[in-house]
Amino acid sequence: MHIKTFIILVLLSWGLHSSAQEHTTHNDVIIQAAPDYSRKDNATVRSAEEEKVMELVEQYISKTLHEYKTKPMFYLKIKKSGCCIAVRVNDIPVYENFSDYDCGYTDYDGALYPINSCLPCSGKQTFSIEVYPTSLQDYISDDCSISIEIYCRPDIDKPEAETKLIKKLNLPENIGQQKLKYYTASAAFEALLPFDYSDRLAKARDLTKIPNLEEMALKQYNKMRQYLVDCDQLAYQTQYLSNIIPYMDMYYNSRQEVIDNLCNTEMFDKTLEKRKVLPITDYEMIVCGNGKLVILRNKSDKNSVLQIESYIANEDGDGIPTTRIIPIILYMPEDSEELEIYA
């Protein structure tokens, strides 16, 4: 029986600093109009808690969502064979595959992963790759093949055919002869973006200088886990919303798209068959974002430690085991002593 895995919000969000739009001219950005609450009149009846979540979402939308004249999109395309890899954009983990399964060379031509949320502002951007042998190998072998490409679409509303390759990173041809257990490489590209969300991370505290960082990170993750255990959507979203809406702004989501995403209650559905929020055990801590971000992930599968198991009925009425993975990333704002959700 196959396990179906849902991964939500894989890439990172970038918060909205109060002065983030000061660097954008009036001709480049138009503040979106006030929320239209009339949709509620025809909406499905919601519980009191869902109404509060809806009001919270609307509140953040009115403060942070914009409509840009141009909406460039940047993508990462990955093809790999015969190895395990981890990819970062601006030192933010965006893709990891530590299974022996090969993607891209025999199955398809590689998916395009949007990476706008890892590009806080216009200018030079970096991306890097870490390569490891598979579980069946001692060293990176001659059979290892990797292609990492960056693509740009000048506007999300333009035809997909206008998406162009702007940078490519390949492995050296003789890598299998070097008997390496680990290989890394990086490259840079330029991005012109209509937003500037760089202040928040730039001013965040350096986590490499926090002595009890792991203890603090575990405490915050356990707090979010308890919200999931209790199916407390309002408490969870109160912690989460101020960061995730700017993330959606970087992908040019509309007001209704944001509402549809954030008012989805499936993650907090107590009626799911055999619903269980997994305990946080056997994890590792990853500091990234040039020392400004921290992640807790499982050692085994490298996924977020926040996971919900349940069963979903298939067409035959049988229960299919399902795992929902919920990644969050933490940071410490300037002048703060506490870790907060960054994405």
pLDDT(77) > 90: yes
Q: What is the pLDDT of residue 35?
A: 32
What residue type is 118 in one-letter code?
Answer: C
Alpha-carbon distance of 262 to 249, in angstroms, equals 13
pLDDT(100) > 70: no
Q: What is the pLDDT of residue 271?
A: 86
pTM (two decimals): 0.80
Going by C-alpha positions, the residue among 138, 141, 136 that lies closest to residue 81 is 141
Q: What is the pLDDT of residue 44?
A: 53
Q: What is the pLDDT of residue 174?
A: 82
User: How far lies 243's CA from each of 74, 124, 195, 340, in Å?
Assistant: 20, 24, 15, 10
Q: What is the mean pLDDT of residues 271-292?
A: 94
- The mean pLDDT value of the chain amounts to 81
Alpha-carbon distance of 99 to 135, in angstroms, equals 8
